[in-house]
């Protein structure tokens, strides 16, 4: 993911409770104080429920997020460029928002 792609994706997602911030020193998107997407080493990473992550991984459109090799971070998936990034960022935002209100 290029800087331009990230900026366009972030600009489209911003508004309401969604703002930009930094997570692990990387640019990210958050709803309130909870992050739902980050740009990690030129890759897009989103937070989703485990069952949804399993679907994405099994379809070949993502891999588990491992910020340190061999240590996957629960609830996060690195998206393949072929994935519908806009839709998955929106889905991640809705998921995190639902966690805040529940």
Give the model's pLDDT for residue 64: 95
CATH topology of domain 3-101: Yope Regulator; Chain: A, (3.30.1460)
Whether the pLDDT of residue 42 is over 60: the answer is yes
Is the per-residue pLDDT at 17 higher than 60?
Answer: yes
User: In the structure, what pLDDT confidence band is assigned to residue 6 with cuts at 50, 70 and 90?
Assistant: very high
Q: Count how many residues are written for the chain.
A: 102
- Tokens of residue 50, six digits: 């485990």
Q: Summarize pLDDT for 49-73 with one digit per residue, the tens.
A: 999 999 999 999 999 999 888 888 8
Collect all residues with Cβ–Cβ distance below 8 Å to 50 and sequence separation of at least 6: 74, 75
The predicted structure's pLDDT at residue 24: 83
High-pLDDT (> 90) share of the chain, %: 82
* pLDDT value at residue 101: 66
| Domain segments of the chain as ranges | 3-101
pLDDT at 29 over 60: yes
Work out the average pLDDT over 36-40. 96
């Amino acid at each position: 993911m290029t800087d331009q792609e990230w900026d366009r994706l972030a600009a489209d997602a911003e508004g309401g409770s969604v703002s930009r911030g930094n997570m692990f020193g990387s640019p990210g998107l958050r709803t309130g104080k909870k992050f739902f997407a980050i740009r990690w080493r030129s890759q897009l990473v989103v937070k989703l429920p485990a069952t949804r992550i399993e679907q994405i991984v099994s379809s070949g459109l993502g891999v588990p997020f491992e910020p340190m090799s061999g240590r996957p971070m629960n609830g996060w998936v690195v998206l393949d460029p072929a994935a519908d990034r806009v839709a998955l960022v929106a889905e991640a935002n809705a998921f995190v928002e639902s966690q805040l209100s529940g």
